[in-house]
Amino acid sequence: MRDDLPDGVERREIDGAERLATRGDPVYGEPTDEGWRAWNPARSKLGAMLALGMDTGLEGGETVLYLGAASGTTVSHVADFAGPTYAVEFAARPARDLLEAADSRPRLFPLLKDARKPETYAHVVESGVDALIQDVATRGQAGVALENARFLADDGRLLLAVKARSEDVTRDPEDVFDDVRAELEDEYEVLESRSLETYHADHLGIVARPL
């Protein structure tokens, strides 16, 4: 298993167990120790990708566009170690919690927008971001990644968590994953894909780069 964690992410003993952790104010009741907050991979697809040793390409300090930020569980950890982090969330209720998470994180920029309509935030998000992180539970997840490819630097990375049941609850998840990978090939080279089943049922983690 790889253990190339980004700068600002460490494996630390918190509450008697070794956990991924970032430095920052707690957001969702996670355990803390001396300024470090545990990153629970069972509540975070990106956390699961890191815990499973996937080569995300994240090094720390990069500019990030995060799609599907919800209430800030994962994107708050990202903003703890990354550079400017644009957090797109469509639903108003979790966006209010996201705003609270951003209060102590000057690099975190919440956007109440629809990830399926990138033209609505293109005037805010800079082009050439280093990482596009996507966790959007909707049909057409590959399409969302393709539409937002415009923001990604030529040497950037797409980190995509695919939820099979959001695509089609009646189909075999492996067939859904195959279709997503095939659709991504219009704009991306898939570098790695791995089941997140250890932490998230019927989910696939994908690392890709623009063609």
Annotated binding site for S-adenosyl-L-methionine: 73-74, 89-90, 114-115, 135-138
- List all residues 6 or more positions away from 119 whose beta carbon is below 8 Å from its beta carbon: none
Distance between CA 3 and CA 76 in Å, rounded? 21
Distance between CA 51 and CA 47 in Å, rounded? 6
- For residue 110, the Cα-to-chain-centroid distance in whole angstroms is 14
Helix, strand, or coil (residue 62): coil
Known binding-site positions: 73-74, 89-90, 114-115, 135-138
Structure tokens at 133: 């992180």
Distance between CA 98 and CA 68 in Å, rounded? 11
- DSSP letters of 104-154? T-TTEEEEE--TT-GGGTTTTSPSSEEEEEE---SS-HHHHHHHGGGGEEE
Could you tell me the end-to-end alpha-carbon distance of the chain, in angstroms, rounded to an integer? Answer: 27
Structure tokens at 125: 């998000």
Q: Which of 120, 115, 111 is closest to 140 using CA atoms?
A: 115
Structure tokens at 111: 């956007």
